């Protein structure tokens, strides 16, 4: 559940229902213990005990340190309490010992006994492959990252303790910026700010963003991609640009008041070199959001269950950077129906990972805009193309004549801002060229002229174009299949003008 209040209600319900063993998945031990202490009070002042391998039992008078370095004895720590005493026992790192046959057996016996008494075992671990023998004994509960209310209260208390309370607008800004960070990270940022300036304020916003970037850098799952590209750097694709401008406006508070939901994302399909990657970069830059690139192959790990854990970690890190753009590059290669992506050759791992991603995309409430790109639509699984996964699917086709003119003019003006080169003949000679091939034509023409120590001209551009074998010729069958797929109404054209026709490509 997303809110702290909803999570607390779910925890209380599990405890009152006498769930014997609860695994709370989290790395935030200190915050978790605080939340459990609050739950113990809410549930009638239950006793809260805790145990770890080094310090043993804590929270019981005259029994401090009991069962240190003895995981089996730790499971008997509840025995010393009065028979009618309601209690919670928090076991830290206990998942490390559950592969032991004796401890596994003891946990199964405790499961039977605890269902008859108001006592609960709680195991905290960030990740754990539960032994099959314990599957029916253990109930999983994920601890979400702090919500806006928790972060705001934490920042307010820290600022008040420093003697410099935060004004409401600044508190709102800092709270929004810290969204997605753990409580410990927020405390560290606040401590650095107080050590540096003696107070919290707007000056800390840049450091919060930098902390998020460092968190991404520490991960092997996502890549932070700075971008200076804008929609003006993309030739053509006017329909797609107009649609994206509408979705940009939908992130505003006015859109929320109007009743619009947060945009989910867009799937861009088309042949190589038609501007899919450039579009993802331009979206992030023009919207003023960080761009995170996901290589789906990084999600898959060798150990059983590790891929699913990596996927959850990826989602959490993406939401930590929200609002942001999550660019899933070449999603057809990661989740394709060929080459192992059908779930038959990897024990179903790819299907489980895909299912996790799709469920998150459909249910997420965070401002993470997903931009997925694909070259081979025939490899995309049907569930990815189902309505509701993305706000829209766009086909980025090979550019038509007017778009080729716009792309060539853009590439030339980028290198010669005041060029007056005629483009009519070159536009005709480049039928079937992708945007990337048009760019390489301009660069090749410049190489031809530079080798002779002169300025390049129309003849050089025509010569360079004659040396290019475009993708429309080398991959004609794939392009025809793509057009056939799009003609059934599965994708909207990204251009107002139709792309290259089969006759143009010859």
Tokens of 319: 């939401």
pTM listed for this prediction: 0.74
Q: Of 3.40.50.300, 3.30.70.20, 3.20.20.70, 3.40.50.12370, which CATH number belongs to 4-142?
A: 3.40.50.300
Neighbour order of strands in the sheet with 21-25: 56-58, 47-52, 87-92, 119-125, 21-25, 138-142
Query: How big is the chain by its Cα radius of gyration, in Å?
Result: 29
| Averaged confidence pLDDT in the chain | 89
Task: Please report which confidence band the pLDDT of residue 171 belongs to, taking 50, 70 and 90 as the band edges.
Answer: very high
Q: Which CATH number describes the domain made up of 399-506?
A: 1.10.8.60
Instruction: Tell me what the mean pLDDT of segment 275-298 comes to.
Output: 91
- In this predicted model, what pLDDT tens digit does every residue of 215-269 receive, in sequence order? 787 777 898 888 888 888 888 899 999 999 999 999 888 998 999 999 999 999 9
Beta bridge mates, 267: 372, 393
CA–CA separation, 149 and 7 (whole Å): 13
**pLDDT bracket for residue 300 (50, 70, 90):** confident
Q: How confident is the model at residue 1 (pLDDT cuts 50, 70, 90)?
A: very low
Reference 72, options 33, 49, 100; nearest CA is 100
List the beta strands (DSSP E) in 62-210.
87-92, 119-125, 138-142
CATH classification (class only), 224-395: alpha beta
Contact 491, 393 (CB under 8 A): yes
State the DSSP string of 265-286: EEEEE-STTSSHHHHHHHHHHH
Q: How large is the average pLDDT for residues 326-347?
A: 70
Q: What is the pLDDT of residue 250?
A: 93
Provide φ and ψ at 48, rounded to 5°.
-110, 115
Q: What is the pLDDT of residues 3-24, one digit of tens each?
A: 677 899 999 999 999 999 999 9
CB under 8 A, 24+ apart: contacts of 401-405: 401/427, 401/428, 401/431, 402/236, 402/497, 403/235, 403/236, 403/237, 403/495, 403/497, 403/499, 404/430, 404/431, 404/433, 404/438
pLDDT value of position 93: 96
315/196 Cα distance (integer angstroms): 33
Q: Nearest CA to 353 among 382, 292, 311?
A: 311
Q: Mean pLDDT throughout 480-489? A: 86
Domain ranges of the chain: 4-142, 148-218, 224-395, 399-506
Percent of the chain with pLDDT over 70: 95
Which residues, 6+ apart, have CB-to-CB distance to 5 below 8 Å? 149
Judge if 224-395 and 399-506 fold alike in CATH terms: no
Distance between CA atoms of residues 47 and 41, nearest Å: 9
413: number of Cβ within 10 Å: 11
Q: Which residue has the tokens 């005259």?
A: 62
């Amino acid at each position: 559940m997303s809110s702290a209040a909803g999570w607390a209600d779910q925890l209380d319900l599990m405890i009152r229902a006498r769930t014997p063993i609860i695994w709370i998945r989290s790395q935030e031990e200190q915050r978790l213990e605080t939340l459990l202490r609050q739950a113990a009070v809410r549930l009638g002042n239950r006793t809260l005990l805790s145990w770890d391998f080094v310090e043993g039992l804590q929270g019981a008078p005259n029994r401090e340190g009991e069962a240190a370095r003895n995981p089996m004895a730790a499971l008997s720590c509840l025995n010393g309490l009065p028979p009618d005493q309601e209690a919670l026992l928090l076991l830290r790192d206990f998942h490390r010992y559950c592969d032991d046959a004796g401890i596994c057996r003891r946990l199964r016996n405790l499961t039977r006994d605890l269902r008859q008494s108001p006592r609960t075992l709680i195991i905290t671990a960030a990740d754990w492959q539960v032994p099959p023998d314990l599957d029916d004994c253990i109930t999983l509960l994920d601890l979400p990252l702090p919500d806006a209310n928790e972060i705001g209260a934490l920042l307010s208390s820290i600022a008040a303790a420093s003697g410099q309370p935060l004004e409401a607008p600044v508190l709102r800004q800092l709270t929004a910026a810290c969204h997605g960070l753990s409580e410990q990270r927020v405390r560290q940022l606040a401590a650095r700010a107080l050590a540096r300036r003696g107070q919290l304020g707007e000056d800390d916003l840049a450091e919060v963003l930098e902390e998020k970037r460092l968190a991404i850098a520490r991960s092997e799952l996502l890549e932070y991609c700075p971008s200076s590209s804008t929609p003006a750097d993309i030739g053509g694709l006017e329909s797609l640009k107009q649609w994206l401008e509408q979705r940009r406006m939908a992130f505003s508070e006015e859109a929320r008041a109007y009743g619009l939901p947060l945009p989910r994302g867009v799937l861009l399909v088309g042949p190589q070199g038609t501007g899919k990657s450039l579009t993802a970069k331009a979206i992030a830059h023009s919207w003023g959001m960080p761009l995170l690139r996901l290589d789906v192959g990084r999600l898959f790990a060798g150990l059983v269950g590790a891929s699913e854990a990596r996927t959850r970690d990826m989602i959490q890190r993406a939401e930590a950077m929200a609002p942001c753009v999550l660019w899933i590059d070449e999603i057809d290669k990661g989740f394709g129906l060929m080459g192992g992506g059908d779930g038959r050759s990897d024990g179903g791992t790819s299907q489980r990972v895909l299912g996790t991603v799709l469920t998150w995309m459909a249910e997420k409430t965070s401002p993470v805009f997903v931009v997925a790109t694909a070259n081979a639509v025939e490899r995309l699984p049907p569930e990815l193309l189902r309505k509701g996964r993305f706000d829209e699917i766009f086909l980025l086709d090979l550019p038509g004549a007017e778009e080729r003119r716009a792309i060539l003019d853009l590439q030339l003006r980028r290198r010669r801002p005041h060029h007056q080169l005629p483009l009519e003949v070159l536009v005709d000679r480049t039928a079937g060229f992708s945007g990337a091939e048009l760019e390489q034509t301009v660069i090749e023409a410049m190489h031809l002229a530079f080798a002779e120590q002169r300025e390049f001209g129309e003849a050089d551009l025509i010569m360079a174009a004659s040396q290019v074998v475009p993708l429309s010729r080398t991959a004609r069958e794939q392009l025809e299949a793509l057009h056939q797929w799009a003609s059934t109404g599965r994708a909207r054209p990204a251009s107002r003008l139709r792309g290259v026709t089969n006759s143009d490509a010859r």
